[in-house]
Amino acid sequence: MQELPAPTPPHEVVQVLSALSDVNRYRIVELLADGVPELTCGGICNALGLSPSLVSHHLSVLETAGVIDRRKDGLWTLNRLRRDELARRLAGLQRIIYTNGHPHAASSVLPLI
């Protein structure tokens, strides 16, 4: 029987869900998940048709929630999705869905990573 990972602290799950509760932040995460692994704020603005100030705000929220990493490369700040951290944090939600009396709990847990 496969051992489940340690429970994710509830505040980390809620922090990610809160960050993803805005449609534009969700769209940014989708954009970073599909295609180019790192994008600048300007690249995200162009792809989604949003203003730089709005995208910058959303990127800050996503970074605080642990969903993305940001790194400087010369004049540019590149943003990338933290897939492993996102999966780890959402594992707490997955645990709720696929355990606690579910008749197929052990075989139903889907790998997030």
Alpha helices of 1-113 — where are they, by DSSP H? 10-20, 23-33, 41-48, 52-64, 83-98, 105-108
> Is residue 1's pLDDT more than 60?
no
Domain 10-95, classified CATH 3.40.50.300, yes or no: no
Task: Look at residue 66 and give its three-state secondary structure.
Answer: coil
Give bridge partners of residue 72 from the DSSP assignment. 77
Give bridge partners of residue 77 from the DSSP assignment. 72
> For position 25, what pLDDT does the model report?
98
> For position 22, what pLDDT does the model report?
98
Domain ranges of the chain: 10-95
Which of 1-5, 87-91, 108-112 has the largest mean confidence? Answer: 87-91
Q: Is residue 79 within 8 Å of residue 44, measured between CB atoms?
A: yes
Global pTM exceeds 0.85: no
Task: Look at residue 43 and give its three-state secondary structure.
Answer: helix
> For position 94, what pLDDT does the model report?
81
Long-range contacts of 103-110 (CB under 8 A, 24+ apart): 106/1, 106/2, 109/2, 109/4
Pick the more confident residue, 6 or 11: 11
Task: Look at residue 90 and give its three-state secondary structure.
Answer: helix
Q: What is the pLDDT of residues 61-109, one digit of tens each?
A: 999 999 999 999 999 999 999 999 999 888 878 878 877 655 555 544 5
Q: What is the pLDDT of residues 33-56, one digit of tens each?
A: 997 889 999 999 999 999 999 999
